[in-house]
Structure 1
Amino acid sequence: MKKDFMFSSESVTEGHPDKLCDQISDAIVDKFLQRDPYSRVIAECAVATAIVFIAARFESDAVVDFTKTARQVIKQVGYDEPDFNAKTCSIVTSVKELTSHSYRYWDAKRLSDEEIELIPVTDQVTVFGFACNQTPAFMPLPIWLAHQLARRLTAVRQEKILPYIAPDGKTQVGIEYRDRQPYRIHSISILASQNRQSQLDLADEKILREEIKETIIDSVFEVENEEIKPDEKTRILIDFDQPFTIGGPSVHSGLTGRKNAIDTYGGYSRHSGAALSGKDPTRIDRVGAYAARYAAKNIVAAGLAEECEVQLAYSIGLARPVSIQVETFGTGKISDEEITVLLERHFDFRLAGIIKKFNLRLLSAIVKGGFYRKLAVYGHVGRMDLGIVPWEETDMVPVLLG
């Protein structure tokens, strides 16, 4: 196992075409759950120049306007260029309403333990959750910083601090590790697109780069008060490459679920490969990943390990995972086998148990503006900014230490 290495992770802004698709898909999920918390829905989206394609299968008592929802998201993200905007883009839908079944109306809060045991998963998947002590959010430092920079890149556009910035952008942070702990920032990359109305002369690139560095990079490290900051050897790349100007769906297409590493741990830990966005809470490939993160975070928060990866494997027709595995990469204060026993004893990884613990069917109605769409950009895990994210709680620490 390497102890000294360099690792980089990237994030993207909410205007990136893949993230635009994730937000449209999760906005549809929110709409269904707000009106019928027992809805079952799978919503997938693809975007390209001037066109949006939505494919959805659902079982619900709610009526959702897919086209209106998509246009609302596109407008809120900030696309108003002639090549792609909320008013004129074509929206094609392929929608199938599934046969209604009364069994979907079960209320997890009222189920007994015996009844929870009778509700199986309907998908087969292996999901992963990870946590480490590199940041206050128990996230790897590269993806944590990449998200902060991407969020700030969006903020300077929305607040018109840099009015020439367009919605599409990327960030990347490389971290040098010593003894598996962050040592210094090796590199920071920001790729920003420009809107057509305020397109600037690229001969002034030096001025543009200074503005980006001051308003985004310097601002993030001042606000975040990180112990590890850029130094004189940190490589900083700020790119206004001509082919990327304007950006968005008119330049490169987007698809729901194509940014799994950005949604999770930036590639520092494994992820299942299954899309997280666009699925209601009865899909174990989504909520199982949240449960695995919850378990891993509580293990690290309890001081039982400095790093922890939890793997859950599910098979169709069974309520419980067929396998629970723990890897602490040599940082555990007790053995991985002992930690696995603690998880099996104190955590409920059954589908209905996860929904009950996290109140997943009602969060869309409880959180103003919807819940799942907020997860669709800047990560489904490590979200210290959202307030109500139940799998980020560390309430199981006393139980694990007891």
Structure 2
Amino acid sequence: MRSNYIFTSESVSEGHPDKVADQISDAVVDLFIGRDPEARVACETMVTTNRIVLAGEVRCREDVTPTQAEIETAVRDTVKAIGYEQHGFHWQYADFACHLHGQSAHIAMGVDESGNKDEGAGDQGIMFGFACDETPDLMPATLHYSHRVLEKLAADRHGKVVDFLEPDAKSQVTLAYENGKPVKAVKLVVSTQHSKDLSNDAGQAKLRDYVKGVFADVLPNGWMPGDEDIFVNPTGLFEIGGPDGDAGLTGRKIIVDTYGGAAPHGGGAFSGKDPTKVDRSAAYVSRYLAKNIVAAGLAKRCTIQLSYAIGIAEPLSLYVDLHGTEANGATAAKLEEVLPRLVRLTPKGIRTHLGLNKPVYLPTAAYGHFGRKPDGELFTWEKTDLVDSLKQAL
């Protein structure tokens, strides 16, 4: 790795069209898994001007399968919670169409547990996990602060601290690194949808001052760049936004969802998928393992890759990279031997260890799946409860 460099990550708010779609898809996952922990869900969502469309495959116990009306209620409640009551996209009045249908019997045959056959992976693919010591939650600092800025905007909007913000927003944080550590911000960007009241020079100045204050609150002391390096709504105005301004689809913000470009991504999206889909569950356990390695002081940076084949239970490969930062006797080769002994890396083993067969997914669908605070059954993959076991095993 280079020691001195500049790096950028972006985030998008809960009101971004693609994130609206992600949250709707995960609301459907939670609805089904809340009824049947073994439910199978692959739900894709498209949102555009006053229109919401679901498509995909589901399987659930017949006696508890949600009705079309229950699905629609869950979808509309999700949009309402985000805050969309606009002429071009309204939680109550948007047209809704549901095209979910039964899961393929051939997929079910390969995935389901039967006889001596363990439950297989729901698809083939490669998944990555990453952790680094740049922030207390062991995430890349550029993405960490990009998320925090938008969370602050959303909190102020929901809490009516300000009355001029609308749900759609994006952020971008560029940091300078010295000796491998972030030391200051060099460029900051926020584009946020706003009310018509701010569509004049005085309004835009008010918005800029507010956003600068958010940056100052979120970033460490002394990190703020000069005014010339802070960009707020660079296009000038941002009245029309959300699904009315740009169509949204599930799974189009996978780098925002993971590590902001600071680590590899296997390509599979998370939202809308039940935990038999290793795109999701194996990415979660990869993060869990990488975070525990860094939290244990065994490395300053860690990347883990897992790979699977559809219908096969055990991973085809496990790869650990410590990026030359290993410490306290750890090596990548040793960890590749130890990790499968600490957590069984089959789909069922992952789900059991992390408690994933529960309706815990909607909160993951905005502001990142990683770097979040574990809270009871939520974000269990962010726990560092393997630290002692890792130290003992090495």
Same structural fold, with TM-score higher than 0.5 when normalized by the shorter chain: yes
Preserved contact between residue 187 and residue 225 of structure 2 (Cα < 8 Å): no
Secondary structure at the aligned position of 2:81 is classed as helix
Tell me the equivalent position of 1:380. 369
Secondary structure at the aligned position of 1:136 is classed as coil
Task: Please give the alpha-carbon distance, in whole angstroms, between the structure 1 residues aligned to 2:375 and 2:178.
Answer: 32
Q: Structure 1 stretch 295-304 or stretch 85-94: which is displaced more?
A: 85-94
Percent of aligned pairs sharing the same letter: 36
Tell me the equivalent position of 2:138. 138
Tell me the equivalent position of 1:269. 263
Task: Please give the alpha-carbon distance, in whole angstroms, between the structure 1 residues aligned to 2:132 and 2:4.
Answer: 16
Secondary structure at the aligned position of 2:21 is classed as helix
Task: Please give the alpha-carbon distance, in whole angstroms, between the structure 1 residues aligned to 2:278 and 2:32.
Answer: 18
Secondary structure at the aligned position of 2:207 is classed as helix
Tell me the equivalent position of 2:306. 312
Does 2:126 match 1:126?
yes
Task: Please give the alpha-carbon distance, in whole angstroms, between the structure 1 residues aligned to 2:112 and 2:357.
Answer: 11
Q: Structure 1 stretch 148-157 or stretch 205-214: which is displaced more?
A: 205-214
The verdict on how the C-alpha distance between 1:190 and 1:24 changes in structure 2, with shifts beyond 3 A counting, is: same
Does 2:159 match 1:159?
yes
Task: Please give the alpha-carbon distance, in whole angstroms, between the structure 2 residues aligned to 1:103 and 1:188.
Answer: 48
Matches within 5 A, 1:202-281: 202-214=201-213, 216-221=214-219, 226=220, 229-232=223-226, 235-239=229-233, 241-242=235-236, 244-281=238-275
Secondary structure at the aligned position of 2:306 is classed as strand
Tell me the equivalent position of 1:57. 57
Preserved contact between residue 141 and residue 182 of structure 1 (Cα < 8 Å): yes
One-letter amino acid of the counterpart of residue 127, structure 1: M
Does 2:183 match 1:183?
yes
Does 2:90 match 1:85?
yes
Task: Please give the alpha-carbon distance, in whole angstroms, between the structure 2 residues aligned to 1:260 and 1:285.
Answer: 11
Preserved contact between residue 185 and residue 228 of structure 1 (Cα < 8 Å): no
Tell me the equivalent position of 1:368. none
Preserved contact between residue 164 and residue 200 of structure 1 (Cα < 8 Å): no
Tell me the equivalent position of 2:81. 76
Q: Structure 1 stretch 138-147 or stretch 347-356: which is displaced more?
A: 347-356
- Counterpart of 2:389 (choices 372, 376, 399) is 399
Structure 2-normalised TM-score?
0.91
Q: Structure 1 stretch 150-159 or stretch 387-396: which is displaced more?
A: 387-396
Q: CA deviation at 1:90?
A: 1.1
Q: CA deviation at 1:273?
A: 1.3
Secondary structure at the aligned position of 2:362 is classed as helix
Task: Please give the alpha-carbon distance, in whole angstroms, between the structure 2 residues aligned to 1:252 and 1:325.
Answer: 39
RMSD, aligned CA: 2.3
Does 2:281 match 1:287?
yes
Secondary structure at the aligned position of 2:281 is classed as helix
> How many residues are aligned here?
382
Q: CA deviation at 1:233?
A: 8.1
Task: Please give the alpha-carbon distance, in whole angstroms, between the structure 1 residues aligned to 2:162 and 2:234.
Answer: 14
The verdict on how the C-alpha distance between 1:302 and 1:385 changes in structure 2, with shifts beyond 3 A counting, is: closer
| CA distances 1:305-352 after superposition (whole Å, capped 9, x unpaired) | 000000001112321111111111111123322222222332321111
The verdict on how the C-alpha distance between 1:306 and 1:103 changes in structure 2, with shifts beyond 3 A counting, is: closer
Preserved contact between residue 45 and residue 53 of structure 1 (Cα < 8 Å): yes
Q: CA deviation at 1:55?
A: 0.4
Task: Please give the alpha-carbon distance, in whole angstroms, between the structure 1 residues aligned to 2:342 and 2:92.
Answer: 51
Q: CA deviation at 1:242?
A: 4.4
Task: Please give the alpha-carbon distance, in whole angstroms, between the structure 2 residues aligned to 1:338 and 1:99.
Answer: 40
The verdict on how the C-alpha distance between 1:5 and 1:255 changes in structure 2, with shifts beyond 3 A counting, is: same
Off by >4 Å, runs of 4+ in structure 1:
99-106, 231-234
Task: Please give the alpha-carbon distance, in whole angstroms, between the structure 2 residues aligned to 1:228 and 1:344.
Answer: 43
Task: Please give the alpha-carbon distance, in whole angstroms, between the structure 2 residues aligned to 1:206 and 1:186.
Answer: 21
Task: Please give the alpha-carbon distance, in whole angstroms, between the structure 1 residues aligned to 2:226 and 2:279.
Answer: 43
One-letter amino acid of the counterpart of residue 202, structure 1: D
Preserved contact between residue 111 and residue 119 of structure 2 (Cα < 8 Å): no
